[in-house]
Amino acid sequence: MVFRKRLGQLLAFFALTSCGPGQPSGEAPVEEAPAPPAVAANPAQQRQRTETVRRFLRWYQQAQPRLDQLLTATVRKAGQGDTAHYQVDAARATAYLQYLRQAGWFSPEFIDDQRQQFGRRDADFRRTRQAYGPPVGFEYGWILYTPRPAVVVATALQRGRIDIVPGAGPQWQARVKLPGTGSLILELTDAGDSTKINTIYPSGIEQDLGQ
């Protein structure tokens, strides 16, 4: 009698668990709703977004010397004698981030990524104790991530083509194509009356410019 009772309990347990976690017995699985398709931008919006990218490139062209100056100043040598090595100066890193914030072009996520970059570079300095040569990770600017940003921007403004790719909701992408096969890719979000840049990265630019 006891054996039959326990056998009945086990059979009931397996019958329940065979339905899968969180899914009631006898009900069909619930399918997730598909993501909404990207909405094509109208011609006026395309022109507006293209001009936004051009304005950013012109701003960067003017701001690059100051950006490079601020970024270079964030690295200092700390310690004495043989123990001295590069470190990130927190106060100067904060000044660099504040400059980006006040420029109005960059999203909080972009600026936070730059802040995390400082943390990673400082951790590397403390691990490697680098004391000579160009500080690793600071060979060139952190906005376009290319060794010759001035050439890239000048080429983009003079001979480049800007393609706008609509995304979901206020998000969109700009592909700044250089005369060859390289591109500068920006991920952006419209925020009210302004547009914020979330990410910028180069694709094949070094080959185009002979770097």
CA–CA dist 21, 11 (Å, integer): 17
> pTM value?
0.78
Q: Tens of pLDDT along the chain (211 residues)? A: 433 443 344 334 334 334 443 433 344 444 444 444 555 558 999 999 999 999 999 999 999 999 999 999 999 999 888 889 999 999 999 999 999 999 999 999 999 999 999 999 999 999 999 999 999 999 999 999 998 999 999 999 999 999 999 999 999 999 999 998 799 999 999 988 999 999 999 998 865 555 4
CA–CA dist 171, 151 (Å, integer): 28
Amino acid at 14: F
CB atoms within 10 A of CB 194: 10
* Closest to 156 in 3D by CA, of 195, 184, 186, 197: 184
Report the half-sphere exposure of 134 (CA within 13 A, side-chain side).
8
CA–CA dist 119, 49 (Å, integer): 33
Helix (H, G, I), strand (E, B) or coil at 8: helix
CA–CA dist 22, 72 (Å, integer): 54
Q: Where are the beta strands (DSSP E) in the chain?
A: 75-78, 85-88, 161-166, 171-177, 183-191, 194-203
With vertex at residue 178, the alpha carbon angle to CA 177 and CA 184, rounded to the nearest 5 degrees, is: 55
CA–CA dist 41, 126 (Å, integer): 48
